[in-house]
């Protein structure tokens, strides 16, 4: 069965980026063009307002931390930017953990001591601005990372943050106080990759789209609708938010509205693999089979081996008992997506099926280490522990 895709993070219905000072209120009056993409009457009111009014608000415990002697000492010893990073992320202080499953506000991230890349950027920005620092955001043009969650494919892009002392000129930084760029889970050679500066509205829209994706993953379709709607109103150029909204319509049994929104997204980025795949499904659902087939042929020309192409073939081979073929196909996906824990896991399973226990142990360890979700890391660790226990002479891979 076809699965929808999401951009987050972008949504694809064949099926998400994962990243800030008092946020302006989202407009509630869409233009006629945007209004044609919304159907408020089809969804009940959200359980909680879909806004980012408190995105960067410091909680009382955060202010206490900010005023603590240890925090102030770190700032004096290392300078504002480096002292802040040391105080927030050293293993002896907050001991924050990375968890890609939830996008949180600054206060929520601090309270939970965990968050995804976007959440950590938000919290860092909140503290930095409270200290009077200039905060800049950028989208790093790294290769997108694909993951699955049930019947949804999630695509994560990368955002970083730079901190600098305030100066008289908006973009002036003295030579002895260069901005400190902070990258959470930075891609290889991230510093050399091209980047695009992001404004605050871009960051807020990313947060809202992430929340929409997370609500959709949880099955709360109405809440997902209001978050996606808010993201589009905040940043009408956000391809991810359009795609997410269209997936919401598709999941809600409204393929004509899904098609309308996918077409609006494709008009903004005509070669988007995510949107094209999702639109092809919507066209089929709406009985436009010839147009869908034409679009699928275009996809095949532009993207002959899209993400999960070899993995899906590997799963077919695995289910048929062709372990050597499965191993080869899984290995091809691992080679081009070495940070996808699911690929490492199934390559390990294939090795295990072939009796190659040491290789299986290594792949399961890589699955654990590359996972961006706490619950998944715990599952992989348990499986790895059981496998090691059954192989008393196997090497301890760490």
Give domain status of residue 236, yes or no.
yes
Same domain as 330, residue 225: no
Q: Is residue 216 part of a domain?
A: yes
396 lies in a domain? no
Distance of alpha carbon 153 from alpha carbon 13, whole angstroms = 8
Residue 344 included in any domain:
yes
Look at residue 398 and tell me if it is in a domain: no
C-beta separation of 86 from 74 below 8 A? yes
Domain ranges, residue 338: 309-390
Burial (CB < 10 A; 0-12, 13-18, 19+), residue 35, is: exposed
Number of domains in the chain: 2
Domain-terminating residue out of 267, 290, 306: 306
> CB under 8 Å to 193, separation ≥6 — which residues?
140, 141, 142, 187
What pLDDT score was predicted for residue 195? 72
Residues whose CB falls within 8 Å of the CB of residue 95, separated by 6 or more in sequence, listed in order: 113
Residue 28 lies in a domain: yes
Q: Based on the fold, state whether residues 253 and 341 are members of the same structural domain.
A: no
Please choose, from the candidates 264, 294, 296, the residue with its C-alpha nearest in 3D space to the C-alpha of residue 277: 296
pLDDT of residue 22: 30
What's the angle, vertex CA 225, arms to CA 125 and CA 144, rounded to 5? 55
The answer on 319 and 237 residing in a single domain is no
pTM here is 0.76
Residue 197 and residue 252 in one domain: yes
Give the CATH number of the domain where residue 229 resides.
1.25.40.10
Q: Do residues 241 and 354 both lie within one domain?
A: no
**Which one of 275, 306, 337 terminates a domain?**
306
Q: Give yes or no: residues 290 and 317 share one domain.
A: no
Together in a domain, 327 and 214: no
pLDDT at 151: 67
Question: For residue 13, what pLDDT is reported?
Answer: 38
Say yes or no: 52 and 131 in one domain. Answer: yes
397, part of any domain: no
Same domain, 41 and 158: yes
Q: Which residues are within 8 A (CB) of 292 and not within 5 positions of it... i.e. 6 or more apart?
A: 280, 281, 283, 284
Predicted pLDDT of residue 139: 81
Yes or no: say if 266 and 34 are a contact pair by the CB < 8 Å rule.
Answer: no
Q: Do 196 and 321 belong together in one domain?
A: no
Strands 152-165 and 195-198, bridge-based pairing: unpaired
Q: Tell whether 395 is covered by a domain.
A: no
Query: Where among 255, 275, 306 does a domain terminate?
Result: 306
Name 135's bridge partners.
163
pLDDT tens string, the chain, 398 residues long: the values are 344 444 433 344 333 333 332 333 344 578 889 999 999 999 999 888 999 999 999 999 999 999 999 899 989 999 889 898 888 877 666 667 767 678 999 999 999 888 888 898 999 999 999 999 999 988 876 666 666 666 677 777 778 888 887 654 333 333 345 788 887 655 555 566 667 888 888 999 999 999 999 999 899 999 999 999 999 999 998 899 999 999 999 999 999 999 999 999 999 999 888 899 999 999 999 999 999 999 999 999 998 887 778 888 999 999 999 999 999 999 998 888 787 888 898 899 999 889 888 898 898 888 888 776 777 778 888 877 887 777 654 444 34
List, as one string, the DSSP characters of 123-142.
HHHHHHHHTTEEEEEEEEEE
Same domain, yes or no: 245 and 371: no
CA 342 to chain centre: 16
Q: Are residues 228 and 318 located together in one domain of the fold?
A: no
């Amino acid at each position: 069965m076809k699965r929808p895709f999401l951009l987050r993070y972008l949504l694809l219905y064949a099926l998400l980026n994962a990243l800030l000072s008092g946020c302006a209120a989202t407009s509630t009056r869409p233009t006629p063009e945007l209004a044609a993409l919304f159907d408020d009457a089809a969804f009940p009111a959200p359980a909680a307002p879909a806004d980012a009014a408190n995105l960067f608000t410091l909680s009382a415990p955060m202010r206490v931390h900010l005023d603590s002697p240890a925090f102030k000492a770190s700032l004096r010893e290392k300078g504002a930017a480096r002292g802040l990073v040391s105080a927030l992320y050293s293993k002896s202080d907050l001991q924050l953990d990375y968890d890609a499953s939830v996008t949180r506000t600054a206060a929520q991230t601090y309270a939970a001591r965990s968050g995804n890349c976007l959440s950590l950027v938000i919290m860092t920005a909140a503290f930095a601005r409270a200290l009077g620092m200039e905060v800049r955001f950028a989208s790093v043009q790294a290769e997108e990372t694909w993951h699955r969650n049930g019947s949804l494919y999630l695509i994560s892009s990368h955002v970083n943050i730079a901190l600098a002392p305030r100066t008289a000129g908006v973009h002036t930084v003295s030579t002895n106080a260069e901005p400190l760029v902070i990258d959470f889970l930075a891609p290889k050679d991230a510093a050399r990759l091209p980047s695009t500066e992001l404004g605050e509205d871009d960051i807020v829209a990313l947060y809202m789209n992430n929340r929409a994706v997370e609500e959709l993953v949880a099955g709360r379709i109405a809440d997902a609708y209001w978050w996606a709607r808010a993201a589009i109103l905040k940043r009408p150029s956000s391809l991810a938010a359009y795609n997410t909204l269209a997936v919401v319509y598709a999941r809600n049994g409204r393929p004509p509205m899904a098609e309308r929104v996918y077409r609006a997204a494709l008009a903004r980025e005509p070669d988007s693999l995510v949107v094209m795949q999702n639109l092809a499904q919507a066209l089929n659902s709406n009985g436009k089979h010839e147009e869908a087939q034409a679009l699928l042929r275009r996809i095949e020309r532009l993207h002959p081996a899209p993400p999960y192409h070899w993995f899906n073939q590997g799963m077919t081979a695995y289910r048929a008992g062709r372990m050597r073929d499965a191993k080869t196909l899984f290995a091809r996906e691992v080679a081009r997506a070495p940070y996808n824990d699911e690929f490492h896991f199934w390559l390990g399973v294939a090795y295990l099926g072939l009796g190659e226990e040491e290789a299986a142990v290594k792949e399961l360890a890589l699955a654990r280490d590359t996972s961006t979700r706490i619950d998944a890391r715990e599952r992989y660790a348990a499986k790895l522990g059981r496998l090691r226990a059954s192989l008393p002479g196997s090497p301890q891979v760490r």
